[in-house]
Structures are given as structure tokens and as C-alpha cells.
Amino acid sequence: MRSQLRLATLAIAALAWAAPAWAGIGITVSPVSPVSGTVTISAKVTGIPRLGEVRISVDGTQVASCRTSPCASQWDSAGVADGQHSIQAKAFNSRAVLRASRSITVVVDNQPDSGGGAPTIAGCRVFPPDNPWNTDVSSWPVHPRSANFLASIGSGNLHPDFGDIYGIPYTTVPGTEPRVPVSFYYDDESDPGPYPIPPDAPVEAGSDRHVLVLDRDHCVLYEMFDAERAGAGWAAGSGAVWDLTINATRPAGWTSADAAGLPILPGLVRYDEVVLTGEMSHAVRFTVSRTQRGYTAPASHWASSSSNPDLPPMGLRFRLKPGFDITTFHPHVQVILRALKKYGMIVADNGSNWFITGELNPLWGNEILDQLKTVGGGNFEVVDTGPIVTP
């Protein structure tokens, strides 16, 4: 009888040591992501009656240890590079047994880009910092016809025209890539070949069939529209060559591989900057269904016969309103929305309304990108970037 009583006592004691199934730990940071300077990290533990220790770490390095909950710590984010960082909290019972663990991701932005930097791809700076694609327009005046332009597009929502199975692909090649002949049916507004386009260069699916190739040794971008293999080279509707080291523009009235006469690659939402770097420092390419016969800088071409002044011209820049709350969105989506507030998005082609363009990448999380579809067009305003050229 005594042995049975002793076993029962031990069983009760074991249950007392074990944490309930609902044991958990929550992490909060203040200020909310993106963070800069000194950050307060707090970890609150629930469901562990005999708490032994709470440990907080950043990128695997422990920054705090507490015997009680909540456990709070001051972390100086200036000691790490800008971008995404992992915060983890672990809770142990009094026997040093791990009972709960949780990680969150925060974006550190101690040195926001103010036009002094520029994005890079494969080691190439994508145009100088003062290029229109890289210009901070968050404080630029609203266009006097902003409401008219918005009304002509309609009140639809943003749509990410990219993901893990669709989008515009691109590739990079060394400076030694063989140059092959290319031909264009809009040859009078195309830069002549040969181009260093490999035979297996990815082609955008759909009717536009864009091909984008970056010579990463010389930082020269080659883009084609409606491209297909032709003998030893390629045939396309139009083509343009961009020296990314200078602020060159197309001749007035010329198209490029895009209807607006703009480069495509600099305006793509890219996986590496959104997910890996945690910062986009450029404007975004997007489409609307109806445009006017006109363009505004940095565009050089139009693709419409309408003289309606309320329709957006090619090159028109839209900006997400500064008061739009982005804190409830996934951190990856916040990266895109911050860029839309700071650099905006530029009308580059006729297409579906409010479609923003990004790279095709199998690593994208489509369910995360879908959060963009909740952002209505009414949350944007048009930036006044200069006069509209109407041929």
C-alpha cells in the first residue's frame, strides 16, 4: 500500500512539473517593425506554472535572460545591418526543460535611403541614385488632376502580377557571353544588335514575351519585347539597351521593350530585395487599361489614340498615401508598401488596372503576396513629376 501511495505521489509531482499543453510564449517589439535604434523586446510566457528561465536572442545571439515573465530587454539595432532579422524567445521550466519557443522576423531600417543610394542586381547598381526610378517622391506635390486620373482608372485593388508561377523572368550573363544577331519589326525605334542573349534565356509567358538579360560584368541591360528564337539568334518586336551606370533616356517618341519607352527590370518587385534584404529602393512598374496619347518623364512613348486629359499618360507616377496603415500586413508586403509610399509606381504599359509587376520566382509565397489585393486604388494619389507631352 505504501509503495502504491509513493508511486501515486510521484505521478502527481511529475504532472506538477509538466507544462500544460497550452504553454506558449509571445514576443512583442516596440516600436513596431521596421525598427531603428534602441528596440524594446518583450517575451510573455503562459502555461508554465514553475517558470525557470526566459531567453531572448537575436539572430541566434542571446541578448536577455530572465527568471520571470514578461521578460523585457533593450536591443540596439544599430549594431546589425539593415534588413530582416530573427528574434527568438525560449521558455524553460525550473528543471531547465524547454517548454515553449517562438520566433518572429523584424525589419531593421537604421539608415533609410533618401536618394543617396540605388538598388543593385548581380553587383550592378541599377542606374545612379538620382535616376527617376530611384528618386524619393514622398514629399513631391500632388498632381492637380490626381482625382481625375484616379477616377478614370476606377476603384479596383492592387494586383500582384507576379508570383511563383507567373511574372517577368530575367537572367544575368558574364561579359564573355557570345553576342548573337537580333532582328526587330519595330527596328526604327530599337537599338540594333547583336545582343548577348543566351539560347536558353527565359521568356515571359503570355503575349508580351519579354526577355531581360543583364551583362553583370559591364552592367548593361538588354531587353526585348515579343521575343522568340530565330536561327542562331533572336527575333522580337522591339529592343532596347540600357547602360545602368548612367542616366540615359530613350529619344523622345521612342518605345523600348515596354510601351512607355522605359526599362523593365528596374521596376520589377524582386524576391531578393523584398525577402532577403527587406528593402526596396526604387519605384514599381504597373499597368492601367486606358491611357492617353501622351507621356511624362521618365517615359518617352505613348500607346493610345485618345486625347482625353483625364486618362493617365505613360510615365505617370502614383504614390501610396502616407497615412495608409501598413502595420497589419505581413513584413514582406510591408516592404513593398513602404516603397510605394516613398518611390511610388509608374505607368509603363496598357494592361489590367492596378497590376504591379514583379519577377517570376518559385520562392515567392503567393498567399502572402495576395495581401496586396486588399489595398484599394483609392489609397493612392498622383505625383506631379512635370509636364505631359502630347504628340
Answer whether residue 320 is part of any domain: yes
pLDDT band at 78 (very low <50, low <70, confident <90, very high): confident
Q: What is the mean pLDDT of residues 109-114?
A: 54
Of 108, 141, 164, which residue sits at a domain end? Answer: 108
Total of domains in the chain: 2
List residues bridging with 279 in a β-sheet: none
Q: Are residues 82 and 127 in the same domain?
A: no
pLDDT digits (tens, 9 = 90+) for 13-54: 333 334 344 578 999 988 876 777 888 999 999 999 999 999
Closest to 220 in 3D by CA, of 126, 285, 130, 299 = 126
- Give the domain CATH number at 35: 2.60.40.10
Complete DSSP assignment for 23-68: -EEEEEEESPSSB-SEEEEEEEEES-TTEEEEEEEETTEEEEEESS
List residues bridging with 92 in a β-sheet: 53, 98
Q: Are residues 79 and 170 in the same domain?
A: no
Quote the pLDDT of residue 33: 63
Q: Are residues 78 and 150 in the same domain?
A: no
pLDDT digits (tens, 9 = 90+) for 355-370: 999 999 999 999 999 9
Answer whether residue 3 is part of any domain: no
Of 52, 74, 108, which residue sits at a domain end? Answer: 108
Average pLDDT over all residues of the chain: 91
Answer whether residue 114 is part of any domain: no
pLDDT digits (tens, 9 = 90+) for 146-198: 999 999 999 899 999 999 999 999 999 999 999 999 999 999 999 999 999 99
Pairing of strands 51-58, 83-93: antiparallel
Q: Are residues 124 and 104 in the same domain?
A: no
Q: Are residues 135 and 193 in the same domain?
A: yes
List residues bridging with 61 in a β-sheet: 58
C-alpha cell at 166: 507567373
For residue 41, the enclosing domain spans 16-108
pLDDT band at 108 (very low <50, low <70, confident <90, very high): confident
Of 60, 86, 108, which residue sits at a domain end? Answer: 108
Closest to 260 in 3D by CA, of 219, 304, 305 = 304
Look at 9-13, 259-263, 384-388 and tell me which has the smallest mean pLDDT.
Answer: 9-13
C-alpha cell at 216: 553583370
Q: Are residues 256 and 356 in the same domain?
A: yes
What is d(CA 181, CA 199) in angstroms, rounded to the nearest whole number? Answer: 11
Answer whether residue 6 is part of any domain: no
pLDDT digits (tens, 9 = 90+) for 269-328: 999 999 999 999 999 999 999 999 999 999 999 999 999 999 999 999 999 999 999 999
pTM: 0.72
Q: What's 244's DSSP letter? A: T
Q: Are residues 164 and 208 in the same domain?
A: yes
Q: Are residues 102 and 184 in the same domain?
A: no
